[in-house]
């Protein structure tokens, strides 16, 4: 049974209880059996996986292994990886085999981690259900009639189904935290700028951040240590001293001030989500943490601000897919203009087209001031709210999503409802703040519920420490679908 945490897998490898090749084979066999029902992996290459595992075994034998050497991992289809199809779950890039590797992936390859395959996602990371994927929806391992969340739905599903000890995701407006919540796993979106965006297909560049997804906060801390760091190839990468994100794991919760934003605990949440939040509050209190009432008054503005700005950036970023240099090119066209038009009409799905149209509209002459500039100002107001709140508390406890995972083929018919369901996650992206989801209960439908811990800039170690302390005295993160 492939239920190992990343830490357990690492320990087994170093003590030679199992070889990296055997471990990879165990996972590949489980994937063979279970992946067809969840459609979480969209690209597998057993030869490549086993070659990496063999190299890891050689490194372990030489005695220069790290804590991660030989540990298998899955990558969201958004990360460029030499020799692997990097399609971002789009028809536009279905034929694109990357000639280079994203920095975060390279950092993990340098540790000797073993690539299991590429995880399904919403097309170009636009969506909240994984249903916009060109390769079909990924399913929720707890109930395959429900979505796993999105856009990193495949990454969340492979960890929940125990088809990988960990996975990388990306989070522009909640895409690590919301699927983590819907699948009952842990995931963190770091402070904007501490993890390189080089080689991660761009959606909305001022929001996009990669992050780890795993069973536990401790595993996320270990992975973040390997992922983070300055990268001169990313112009928004922050030049800071290397940090140890595991350093506060053993810090007791006593005296920690947890802010409860009144706008997040209202009528918008299902009764099950409210109950899970209350249980998290009780658990924190029992460990000696103190609760403080705080307010984030601009919460409602974050959705319009995000969907204007993210769409604007998406329309600019996606202009590169024109059929000229790489990716899909229409077979039929009369002239260059038609080639561009037909290529984009055929290559993009409808949600991506909707974002491009919104983005082009809000950036156009005459509307720029009314929409784009206004949204930038709202972004500042949302960010200021958090600074006021963090004067009164160390971390904020929040819901991740207002409900458990919806049924397949429901939310995808109602884009406005889907956008509204991002209410609790997008503010952290607007403000560039680190935020983590950890499992905190189950709904009456049997589906997992996660809660968020949001911190001030560069407080990853504190967030991960608090989440680890909560996981030491609860077992939600150990539950797995049958
Ligand atoms: N659901 C949000 C969107 O569609 C967030 C996606 C993301 O974080 N990549 O934009």
Continuous segment of H or E residues that includes residue 437 = strand 435-442
Counted residue by residue, the chain has a size of: 482
The reply to whether omega before 151 is within 30° of 0 (cis) is yes
Q: pLDDT tens digits for the chain (482 residues)?
A: 799 999 999 999 999 999 999 999 999 999 999 999 999 999 999 999 999 999 999 999 999 999 999 999 999 999 999 999 999 999 999 999 999 999 999 999 999 999 999 999 999 999 999 999 999 999 999 999 999 999 999 999 999 999 999 999 999 999 999 999 999 999 999 999 999 999 999 999 999 999 999 999 999 999 999 999 999 999 999 999 999 999 999 999 999 999 999 999 988 999 999 999 999 999 999 999 999 999 999 999 999 999 999 999 999 999 999 999 999 999 999 999 999 999 999 999 999 999 999 999 999 999 999 999 999 999 999 999 999 999 999 999 999 999 999 999 999 999 999 999 999 999 999 999 999 999 999 999 999 999 999 999 999 999 999 999 999 999 999 999 98
Q: Please tell me the distance between residue 202's alpha carbon and the centre of ligand 1 in angstroms.
A: 12
Please report the pLDDT score of residue 225 as a whole number: 98
Atom of ligand 1 nearest to the CA of 127: 4
Q: Which residue has the tokens 């928004």?
A: 236
Q: Which two tokens mark 12?
A: 């087994």
Which is the catalytic residue, given 34, 76, 139, 189? 76
Buried b (16+ CB within 10 A) or exposed e, 388-421: ebbeebbbbbbbbbbbbbbebeebbeebeebbeb
CA angle, residues 86, 89, 91, in degrees to nearest 5? 95
Question: Distance between CA 90 and CA 460 in Å, rounded?
Answer: 32
Q: Is the CB of 422 under 6 A from ligand 1?
A: yes
* 395 strand-pairing partners: 258, 455
Give 210 Cα–ligand 1 centroid separation in angstroms.
Answer: 13
Mutate to test the pocket of ligand 1, among 76, 119, 121, 128 (most ligand atoms within 8 A of CB): 128
Beta strands 72-76; 166-171: pairing state: parallel
Whole-angstrom Cα distance, residue 367 to residue 352? 21
Residue 194: what are its φ and ψ, rounded to 5°?
-90, -15
317 C-alpha vs ligand 1 centroid, how far in Å? Answer: 15
pLDDT of residue 267: 80
Taking the C-alpha atoms of residue 177 and residue 482, their distance in angstroms, rounded to an integer, is: 23
Q: Give the 3-state secondary structure of residue 378.
A: helix
Calpha distance 176→155 (Å, rounded): 9
Q: Residue written as tokens 């509209």?
A: 361
**Would you tell me how many other CB atoms lie within 10 Å of the CB of residue 169?**
32
What is the C-alpha separation between 275 and 442, in angstroms, rounded?
9
- Closest by Cα among 476, 474, 427, 420 to 454: 427
Q: Exposed, middle or buried by CB within 10 Å (0-12, 13-18, 19+), for 43?
A: middle
Angle at 65 between CA 45 and CA 246, to 5 degrees: 100
CA gyration radius, the chain: 21
Q: Which of 175, 237, 315, 459 is catalytic?
A: 175
- CA 3 / ligand 1 centre spacing (Å): 29
Please say if 151 is a catalytic residue.
Answer: yes
Where do the DSSP E strands lie in 89-208?
A: 114-119, 166-171, 186-189
Residue 435 DSSP SS3: strand
Report whether residue 310 contacts ligand 1, using a CB cutoff of 6 Å: yes
User: Which of 129, 170, 175, 188 maximizes ligand 1 atoms within 8 Å of its Cβ, making it the mutation to test the pocket?
Assistant: 175
What distance in Å separates the CA atoms of residue 105 and residue 119, rounded to the nearest whole number? 14
* Closest-lying ligand 1 atom to the alpha carbon of residue 175: 8
- pLDDT tens-digit map of 239-295: 999 999 999 999 999 999 999 999 999 889 999 999 999 999 999 999 999 999 999
Q: Which two tokens stand for residue 319?
A: 């202009």
Euclidean distance between the first and final Cα of the chain, in Å? 12
Probe residue for ligand 1, chosen from 151, 204, 206, 412 as the CB with the greatest number of ligand atoms within 8 Å: 151
Give the burial string for 428-442 (b: 16+ CB within 10 Å, else e): bbbbbbbbbbbbbbb
Determine the distance separating the centroid of ligand 1 and the alpha carbon of 128, expressed in angstroms. 6
Q: Which atom of ligand 1 is nearest to the CA of 126?
A: 4
Strand partners, 407: 146
What's the CA-to-centroid distance between 369 and ligand 1, angstroms? 24
Whole-number Å distance, alpha carbon 42 to ligand 1 midpoint, is 20
Q: Which atom of ligand 1 is nearest to the CA of 306?
A: 10
CA distance 302 to 309: 10
Best residue among 77, 120, 122 to mutate for probing ligand 1's pocket (most ligand atoms within 8 Å of CB) is: 122
Reduced to 3 states, what is the DSSP secondary structure of residue 475? coil
- Quick check: CB of 460 below 6 Å from ligand 1? no
Q: Is the C-beta atom of 125 inside 6 A of ligand 1? A: yes
DSSP E strand stretches across 64-208: 72-76, 114-119, 166-171, 186-189
324, two tokens: 């000229």
Nearest to 453 by CA among 468, 443, 473, 442: 468
HSE of 91 in the Cβ direction (CA atoms, 13 Å)?
Answer: 16
Residue 200 CB–ligand 1 contact under 6 Å: no
Q: How far is the CA of 125 from the centre of ligand 1 (A)?
A: 6
**174 CB less than 6 Å from ligand 1?**
yes
Q: In what order do the strands lie in the sheet with 114-119?
A: 41-43, 114-119, 72-76, 166-171, 209-214, 186-189, 435-442, 448-455, 395-399, 257-261, 290-294
pLDDT at 375: 98
Among the residues of 63-145, which ranges form H helices?
A: 103-110
């Amino acid at each position: 049974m492939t239920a190992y945490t990343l830490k357990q897998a690492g320990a087994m490898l170093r003590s030679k209880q199992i070889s990296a090749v055997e471990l990879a084979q165990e996972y590949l066999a489980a994937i063979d059996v279970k992946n067809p029902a969840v459609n979480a992996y969209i690209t597998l290459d057993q030869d490549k996986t086993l070659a990496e595992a063999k190299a890891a075994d050689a490194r372990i034998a030489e005695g220069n292994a790290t804590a991660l050497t030989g540990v298998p991992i899955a990558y969201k289809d958004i990360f460029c990886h030499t020799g692997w199809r990097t399609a971002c779950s789009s028809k536009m890039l279905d034929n694109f085999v990357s000639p280079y590797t994203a920095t975060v992936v390279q950092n993990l390859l340098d540790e000797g981690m073993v690539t299991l395959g590429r995880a399904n996602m919403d097309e170009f990371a636009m969506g909240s259900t994984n249903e916009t994927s060109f390769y079909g929806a990924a399913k929720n391992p707890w109930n395959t009639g429900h979505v796993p969340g999105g856009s990193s739905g495949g990454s969340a599903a492979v960890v929940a189904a125990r088809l990988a000890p960990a996975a990388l995701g990306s989070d522009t407006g909640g895409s690590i935290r919301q699927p983590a919540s819907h699948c009952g796993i842990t995931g963190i979106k770091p402070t904007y700028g501490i993890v390189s965006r080089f080689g991660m297909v761009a959606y909305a560049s001022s929001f996009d951040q990669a992050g780890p997804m795993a069973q536990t906060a401790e595993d996320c801390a270990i992975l973040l240590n390997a992922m983070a760091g300055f990268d001169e190839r990313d112009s928004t990468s922050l030049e800071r001293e290397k940090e140890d994100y595991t350093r506060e794991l053993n810090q007791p919760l006593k005296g920690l001030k947890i802010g409860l934003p009144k706008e997040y605990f209202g009528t918008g949440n299902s009764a099950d989500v409210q109950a899970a939040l209350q249980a998290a509050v009780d658990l924190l209190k029992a460990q000696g943490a103190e609760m403080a009432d705080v307010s984030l008054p601009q919460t409602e503005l974050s959705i319009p601000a995000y969907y204007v700005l993210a769409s604007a950036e998406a329309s600019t970023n996606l202009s590169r897919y024109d059929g000229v240099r790489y990716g899909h090119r229409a077979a039929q066209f009369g002239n260059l203009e038609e080639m561009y038009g037909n290529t984009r009409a055929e290559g993009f799905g409808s949600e991506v087209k909707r974002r491009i149209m919104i983005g082009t509209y809000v950036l156009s002459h005459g509307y720029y001031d009314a929409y784009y500039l206004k949204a930038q100002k709202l972004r500042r107001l949302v960010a200021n709210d958090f600074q006021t709140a963090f004067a009164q508390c160390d971390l904020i406890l929040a819901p991740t999503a207002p409900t458990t995972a919806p049924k397949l083929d429901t939310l995808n018919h109602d884009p406005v409802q889907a956008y509204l369901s991002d209410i609790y996650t997008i503010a952290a992206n607007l403000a560039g703040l680190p935020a983590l989801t950890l499992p905190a209960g189950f709904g009456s439908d049997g589906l997992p519920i996660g809660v968020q811990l949001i911190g001030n800039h560069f407080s990853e170690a504190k967030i991960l420490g608090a989440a680890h302390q909560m996981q030491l005295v609860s077992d939600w993160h150990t539950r797995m679908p049958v």
